[in-house]
Amino acid sequence: MSHYTPTDLTRVRRIAQRASYDQATVHAIVDHAWICHIAFSLDGQSHCIPTAHWRVDEAIHIHGSNGSRLLRALATGIPACVCITHLDGLVLARSAFHHSMNYRSAMVYGRFAPLPAAERSASLDAFMDKLEPGRRAQVRMPDANELAATTVLALPIIEAVAKIRQGPPEDDEADLSLPVWAGVWPLETRLGEPIPHHASTALA
């Protein structure tokens, strides 16, 4: 499958030309993000909770304590929506009306399910590899008790759509001669200088 089939939930109606149902595009947006937001309804109350995520093949995985309200609610199979957004730039136009933002976003609808215990360790290995490839060969990995205290859920990526805006402002022709700067102010997320943590400090 190279494209997701649009559904009533994923069909983009507002500025539909920005929509993409391409599998590789959705995967790239999911993989490039550290955090997703998960929306769901529980006992008549809407919730939207951020959490770390990673992708294994054609599924989004999340994890947490067995006591987590988010994990316990989603494990029951209630409908959920996962939303991921990368903000790439502020689009400054010559008119207030045409200011915008450049972004890459993805929405995935579906139901989470608990990962079988036999698959939990491999999934968490994939999460470590996302954080820093090769690091799990250096650190102490979870023991049996830690694994037993951790829930891992998976959401199959079946109903999914990406929406992307790129490029300069779209000013009206009549505004192009206005004496005001217009263009894109790029934004980026990057790793800073690592801050070491020394064992002697932790034990002090």
pLDDT in tens, 60-119: 999 999 999 999 999 999 999 999 999 999 999 999 999 999 999 999 999 999 999 889
Contact in structure between 90 and 101 (CB atoms under 8 Å): yes
d(Cα 161, Cα 7) in Å, to the nearest integer?
10
d(Cα 116, Cα 189) in Å, to the nearest integer?
34
Is residue 95 classed as helix, strand or coil in its secondary structure? coil
Please name which of 112, 110, 109, 138 lies closest in space to residue 123, comparing C-alpha atoms. 112
pLDDT tens digits, 19-55: 999 999 999 999 999 999 999 999 999 999 999 999 9
